[in-house]
Structure 1
């Protein structure tokens, strides 16, 4: 080997940077194209290590990171071969949702029975979803997963539209299409000059698993307080007393809550939740996450696309973040499959703009709706609070409006990518 030269140089059709749920789901969805795919993941550890560890991890407790997966996400995960594996591990369908104004009398009750559906969605631990996707991925010969990959640079596209990535170990990798699926702090977005608009929500989220005195009854609960929303999400526990919480509140209040011991935190949580499930008996280790909204100014360039949190992040109050990312993956896979059938190059910017048209406006609309909803529940003057509560109660009585909202939230209405549509 000559000193100073690359350790190796490979050429693949598609490189996905980020081995999380969205990146791996995209790779699995593209299996029919026959494209050679490399997934670069910065963290160490093989996919098999998570698959092997999952039973023991599940026996020890619940992953504090969970997602409220919609019917559209369920359909896409079924399409890529992950859903049956998730069912065999641990998922929790929820049939009802109870939302109320903590500073008024307004409340909305959603029920799957009103739609003649078996459930509104599923609460699933992120590691369960990821392990299932890893297992599906390992059955596809055209995908190679590379852990511990640190990217040093990304070149602009050459005259043939090829980009070259250089890794910390000296390896270089050329590809016709680079996909950034590397999260909110995406290095791919930064390295390629894909600007993003972002701002601080003024909220921090406390996430943990709790046990309550009364069973959750397969219901998601959300109370809007003057400081932010508090959500309790049911988990697949035989006693139905385990729930995951996402408590979004001001940074100062979040720090105060994090400083409490377990008993004091449980008491404060029970009080804030108005004891809807009785006393909070215990909680696991608490995790604190600052909340920021980000949106890439564009999702694509020649030979480059952003998906998931690399393209957008939103407030977790409606649990739509992962679902939007999976819809990005479904849309991009649809575009690339159709491009292959037409004989078009996957990195052609005209091809990638179809994906951007499918997803950017929808993601912006969802982000704007979440921001408007969040501001609606700020500490507002009493007359506006009264109108807010009255409006919630009115919607609760208008069955067609409520059913439309439920169907949209479930991904059963609106422009849904083909791979995520129910047959």
Structure 2
């Protein structure tokens, strides 16, 4: 039997951030399980990227991994250009704009998921208080009065160090950070609300002859939003695309040849980035809103995509999950080691994070509805409203603050190092 204070299921960005933050702020022993191999950093861009805001960058800074991320591919962007295809309305944002908060050098960074995970993983492996279990998946969870009992299945990997299951783990708390299809959530039968967005997302990497200009581009089409997210490259001409559209249209576009697909992107973006060229594989996946009814059940806690998923149109999913992790650290580190499962503290954590997730879900739903197909007169009014707002500084300041992650009631490590 192996004993730890906290068992984290899922060594993605959110789970690894939690492990490192717990170790930085306490002497708690941490176990982390995940059989997903660590992707190595090579010359090929990962089609899975994240838009990292100021709050998340502060978290990585405070964990001492931002410098490692900075040595690999990461693209800062200072501008955001949003327009409505149907009406011609537009909004332009710049990091240096606004009087409601200190002007920033960047609105955010577009970083490949494998770059972030690699930096977090290497840092966590160097911490003797974090133990990795990567050969076997968990087979069962049993929650007792004072501990959680987790047992492993036999290793699936024929190259695993041992063909026998790892010894079971006893932990004071178990945290599920194992993604949208969370095994932990299913094992614990934690009730979840969900709604199909009726969109599938297409992701890939494209070359843009006119360059990305350190700008995040997003056009709202009748079929859904299309984003061009700038990637670091030699000529600043690569973007990651996230195209949210109907399931049938997504399947048609993914099955189309590369030239036809690229022409569709060029037309959709009004040629603002030039004649686009597809330079990677295309992948598509369904978009679903998920929100667990309660983030905590007994000694089990859900964070990140295991607890909530939102539409990617604002790029805030990963940032929300990272704040979950750091908020949990604030909560646990305020408790004595023998009272980590303090019911009152964990309920307060659950209310805090569910409120934040619900607010973000509502905002995404409002934006999606706002840009849904409308009769021509209403679309023109929408465009006129966008053009008016583009010159109203207080409103733009609010949007910029949200994009930056600058808000009240942030967890402690989301603030800049003093």
Answer yes or no: same fold by TM over 0.5.
Answer: yes
Whether the 8 Å CA contact 1:300–1:349 is kept in 2: the answer is no
Q: Does 1:312 align with 2:288?
A: no
Match of residue 274 from structure 1: 270
Q: Which of 367, 374, 380 is 1:373 aligned to?
A: 367
Secondary structure at the aligned position of 2:264 is classed as helix
- Count residues in correspondence: 401
Please give the secondary structure, in 1, of the residue aligned with 2:380: helix
Equivalent position to 1:250, from 246, 251, 259: 246
Mapped partners of 1:337, 1:420: distance in 2: 16
Map of 2:158 onto structure 1? none
Q: Per-residue CA shift, 1:251-277, capped at 9, x if unaligned?
A: 111111011111111111101111001
Q: 1:20 aligns with which of 12, 17, 21?
A: 12
SS at match of 1:155: strand
2:64 matched to which residue of 1?
81
Kept in 2, the 8 Å contact 1:64–1:207? The answer is: yes
Counterpart Cα distance in 1 of 2:334 and 2:83: 44
SS of the residue corresponding to residue 105 of structure 2 reads: coil
Structure 2 equivalent of residue 348 of structure 1: 342
- Structure 1 segments unaligned to the other structure (5+ residues): 1-8
State the partner residue of 2:94.
111
The structural deviation recorded for 1:354 is 2.5
Contact 1:266 1:283 in 2 (8 A): no
Partner of 1:124: 111
1:176-255 counterparts in 2 under 5 A?
176-255=172-251
Q: Does 1:41 align with 2:34?
A: yes
Work out whether residues 212 and 277 of structure 1, in 8 Å CA contact, stay in contact via their aligned partners in 2. yes
CA distance in 1, matches of 2:377, 2:411: 42
Q: Is the 8 A contact 1:302 1:348 kept in 2?
A: no
TM-score, with normalisation over the residues of structure 1?
Answer: 0.92
Separation in 2 of the partners of 1:77 and 1:189?
27
TM-score scaled by length of structure 2: 0.93
Q: Secondary structure at the match of 2:97?
A: helix
Counterpart pick for 2:80 among 97, 106, 117: 97
Aligned to 2:160: none
Q: SS in structure 1 opposite 2:11? A: coil
- Give, in whole Å, the separation in 2 of the partners of 1:133 and 1:410: 22
Q: CA deviation at 1:42?
A: 3.0
Deviation at 1:392, TM superposition (A): 1.4
2:376 to 377, 382, 388: 382
Tell me which stretches of 4 or more aligned residues in structure 1 moved more than 6 Å: none
Q: CA RMSD in A?
A: 1.3
SS in 1 for 2:339: coil
Counterpart Cα distance in 2 of 1:227 and 1:378: 8
More helix by share: 1
Give the C-alpha shift of residue 214 in structure 1: 0.5
Aligned to 1:168: 153
8 Å contact from structure 2 (residues 335, 342) kept in 1: no
For 1:317 and 1:36, how far apart are their aligned partners in 2? 37
Aligned equivalents of 1:262, 1:270: Cα separation in 2: 12
Partner of 1:148: 135
Alpha-carbon distance between aligned partners in 2 of 1:337 and 1:275, rounded to the nearest angstrom:
52
Give the structure 2 partner of residue 418 of structure 1: 412
Kindly state the Cα deviation for residue 344 of structure 1 after the two structures are TM-superposed.
5.8
Task: Indicate which of 2, 5, 8 corresponds to 1:10.
Answer: 2
